[in-house]
Amino acid sequence: MNGPFEQAQQLSNVWIDLVTRMATAGVAGEAFAAPPDAARAARARVFETMTRGTDDFLRSAQFLQLTKQSLDASVAFRKQLNEFLTKAHHEAGGVARQDVNDLLSYLRRIEKQTATHLEEIASRMDEIDRRLGSLEECARKRGLGNGEAHGQVQPPRAES
């Protein structure tokens, strides 16, 4: 990256070039007329120089380091502020945001564990239902009646 003096020199050279070209082009026309080619070219060079300078500055190690330090300081300040406010709430006998967040986190963990256990119970119930259905199907295939399959004795049928 060029030093500030060199950048100022480049910018002044661009402006001198612009003024010289406009003076030689005889710009004495209407106020809202399109600028002549020399003015457009000079404007493009100015914008290009400004863009390059800004890009170089934003990508410089110094700027990136300064930005990182600023963000780190902001995060540290926010943490200190949260700790201070939590302590103030506790000393006043109130409930702090961190307390509520911890409680919500605990409740979410319990909810997940409960859901996991209910899924296991539902899976076991499905397995029991499948096995019971299989046993009933086997009993039907052997020719036993519904009552006999469950240990109940059916009265003998009267023959006609």
Higher pLDDT, 34 or 45: 45
57-61, 64-68, 143-147, range with the lowest pLDDT = 143-147
Distances (CA, A) of 105 to 30, 67, 93, 158: 70, 33, 22, 70
43-57, 90-104, 140-154, range with the lowest pLDDT = 140-154
Q: What percent of the chain has pLDDT over 90?
A: 38
Higher pLDDT, 11 or 114: 114
pLDDT in tens, 17-29: 877 776 666 555 5
What does the mean pLDDT of the chain come to? 82
What phi-psi label fits residue 64: left (phi over 0), alpha (psi between -120 and 50 degrees) or beta?
A: alpha
pLDDT in tens, 92-148: 888 777 888 889 999 999 999 999 999 999 999 999 999 999 999 998 988 765 555
Confidence at residue 106, expressed as pLDDT on a 0 to 100 scale: 94
Tell whether the torsion through CA atoms of 130, 133, 137 and 138 is positive or negative: positive
